[in-house]
């Protein structure tokens, strides 16, 4: 994950949720690299840095040592909850916000309980790491939805009143708006096709699982949407102050899921599930969607053949840039989605475009091309397309990608007129 510098501390988390690790985020001194504080995402309150100032909004997140009691005995020690996504900082509140990854193993029958504090979000004091609140997007995560996506910290009207909010397009398929001071869910609206859940109960804050999509050992559960990579994985969204819109690169994937028994062996995969993914309704596998977070509705959407695995960037000139896995780098109109320009890169784009002003005073846009990651593993790792379970089932959805792109590793920089 990308570290974040806050004051005199470098904040960084770990990964490896599929390897039976224990998740954490730590703050290192910028002066000497020494650990200033370290907060685990499973285990007793002392390890999680939960103390008297911890005030979660919902009752299910209140109580002592929930990072232990919501797991089978000792399972929290290999329970995942890693921090491999994004950290955001509010200097006025002096709070950092970050998501926690999936619990391990994927086989949920082997870890009954809510599995705190995985697949959720923490707000912490940046100075000492002390937890302020927590909310769990997917309690007892049964579909590997994690909870690591980016957090957009906005001040916007909610029911006619200005609120300090945290906007989150979550992997479970809902666009959340939270009060970032308290952790209360103000709204949770589907932004993709969802069969795995029935909605979010705003009174309790709990995700409502669809009974017919709950995994069972030895049984294949079909047509689970979104798939394990989520409605949107780590690929970051962009927000425009000009339009007030959120631009989300995301997926349109469903999956079949079969749980199997798995034993923990240090240094080896700890998953316990067979998965095959495929395109969702409409046959396209991705989209770039413009969303109005105030009105809680889609404004426009561009369908793409493959998952839109790149980030997006919105400029003050009213343009949104993003890349596709075939290797197209595109510029579209921020208000209408009309395509304005495209460039064919030498490899699929999963990197995040950036824009900056150069020493010559001109504005530039840069992007890395080089297909890979989970979605592009079939190309980057040379996987056999006949094995649909490869890359934890993602290969089944990407068998035609090798015909559209090759391995790469190129930086492209464009000057804007």
Alpha carbon 392 to chain centroid distance?
Answer: 17
Q: Which one of the listed residues 144, 170, 256, 259 is annotated catalytic?
A: 144
H or E, element range at 310: none
107 is annotated as an active-site residue: no
11 and 26 Cβ atoms separated by less than 8 Å: yes
- Identify the CA nearest to 209 among candidates 146, 138, 271, 104: 138
90 is annotated as an active-site residue: no
CA distance 211 to 200: 15
216 is annotated as an active-site residue: no
Q: Each residue of 90-115: b (16+ CB within 10 Å) or e? A: beebebbbbbbbbbbbbbbebbebbb
Q: Which one of the listed residues 14, 41, 102, 251 is annotated catalytic?
A: 102
Cβ contacts of residue 195 below 8 Å, gap of 6+?
210, 213, 223, 224, 225, 254
Q: Which one of the listed residues 18, 184, 233, 259 is annotated catalytic?
A: 18
One-character DSSP codes across 192-211: S---SEEEE-TTT--EEE-G
CA distance 89 to 10: 12
Residues belonging to the active site? 18, 102, 144
């Amino acid at each position: 994950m990308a570290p974040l510098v806050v004051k005199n501390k470098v904040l960084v988390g770990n990964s490896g949720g599929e390897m039976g690790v224990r998740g954490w985020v730590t703050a290192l001194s910028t002066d000497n690299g020494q650990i200033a504080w370290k907060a685990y995402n499973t285990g007793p309150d002392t390890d999680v840095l939960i103390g008297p100032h911890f005030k979660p909004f919902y009752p299910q997140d209140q109580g002592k040592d929930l990072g232990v009691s919501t797991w089978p005995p000792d399972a929290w020690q290999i329970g995942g909850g890693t921090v491999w996504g994004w950290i955001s900082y509010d200097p006025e509140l002096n709070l950092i916000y970050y998501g926690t990854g999936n619990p391990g193993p994927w086989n949920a029958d082997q870890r009954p309980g809510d599995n705190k504090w995985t697949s959720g979000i923490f707000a912490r004091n940046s100075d000492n790491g002390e937890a302020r609140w927590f909310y769990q997007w997917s309690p007892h995560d049964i579909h590997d939805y994690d909870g690591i996506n980016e957090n957009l910290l906005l001040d916007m009207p909610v029911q006619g009143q200005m609120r300090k909010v945290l906007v989150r397009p979550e992997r479970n398929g809902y666009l959340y708006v939270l009060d970032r001071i308290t952790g209360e869910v103000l709204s949770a609206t589907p932004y993709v096709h969802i069969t795995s859940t029935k909605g979010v109960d705003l009174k309790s804050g709990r995700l409502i699982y669809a009974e017919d999509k709950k995994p069972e050992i030895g049984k294949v559960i079909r047509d689970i949407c979104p798939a394990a990579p989520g409605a949107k994985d780590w690929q970051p969204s962009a927000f425009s102050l000009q339009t007030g819109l959120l631009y989300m690169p995301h997926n349109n994937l469903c999956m079949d899921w079969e749980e199997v028994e798995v034993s923990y062996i240090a240094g080896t995969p700890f998953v316990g599930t067979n998965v095959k993914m495929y395109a969702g309704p409409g046959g396209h596998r991705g989209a770039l969607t413009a969303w109005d977070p105030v009105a809680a509705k889609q404004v426009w959407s561009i369908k793409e053949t493959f998952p839109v695995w790149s980030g997006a960037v919105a400029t003050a000139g009213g343009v949104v840039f993003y890349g596709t896995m075939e290797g197209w780098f595109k510029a579209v109109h921020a208000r209408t989605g009309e395509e304005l320009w495209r460039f064919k890169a030498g490899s699929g784009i999963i990197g995040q475009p950036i824009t900056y002003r150069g020493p010559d005073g001109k504005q530039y846009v840069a992007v890395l091309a080089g297909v890979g990651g989970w979605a592009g593993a079939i190309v980057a790792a040379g996987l056999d397309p006949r094995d649909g379970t490869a890359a934890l089932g993602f290969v089944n959805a990407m068998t035609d990608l090798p015909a559209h792109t090759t391995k790469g590793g190129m930086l492209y920089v464009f000057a804007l007129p």
